[in-house]
Amino acid sequence: MIEKPELADDPILTGAERPMLIGFLDYFRRVLVRKASGLSQADLATVLAPSTLTIAGLVKHLAHVEDFWFTYILLGSPMPEPWASAPWDDDRDWEMTSAVNDSPEQLLSQFETSVARSDAALTTVTDLDQLAAMPPRRGATSLRWILIHMVEEYARHLGHIDLIRESIDGAVDD
């Protein structure tokens, strides 16, 4: 099992828009790692009925959306593995359903790898108004929108993780 890191530092409360947006995204990334750390593979596969969501599935899903939004959409680069060869046609939720077969170490390693790619993308695109290289179905999308969307994505899924984690071991912080 992976050790549980310390509580995440709060994001900055004042300052320019870009550091605040990235600060909230980084904060939620650290909360995710802390919430998923210290759990066994069986714990990570726990569901809280009636939902089928698992912490494992949400960790892998958030790794996928990191690569999707920053690598594929923002930069226009091909999706890296394991996403490029995943059987999406057979299972639209492959990252969620396959995650229960991954060890905690595999899940958190993939998450960290995806976040590192996202952070690298953020060093190359600095203008919040810059449009993504690969517009999603919605149309032209700016880096600002992607960052706000990612903060929203983490906030929503960390709420799911909070409920599942509390049902496993009573952990309620963050």
pLDDT value of position 4: 45
Q: Which of 10, 58, 65 is nearest to 162 (CA)?
A: 58
- 43-52 pLDDT per residue, tens: 999 999 899 9
Q: What average pLDDT does range 43-69 have in this prediction?
A: 96
- Are 110 and 60 spatial neighbours (Cβ–Cβ below 8 Å)? yes
Q: Give CA–CA dist 121/38, Å, rounded.
A: 30
Residues 6+ apart with CB under 8 A from 91: 97, 98
The residue whose two tokens read 């995806």 is 114
Four-way CATH pick for 35-169: 1.20.120.450, 3.40.50.720, 1.10.10.10, 3.30.450.20: 1.20.120.450
For the chain, the average pLDDT equals 93
pLDDT value of position 2: 41
- 73-129 pLDDT per residue, tens: 999 999 999 999 999 999 999 999 999 999 999 999 999 999 999 999 999 999 999
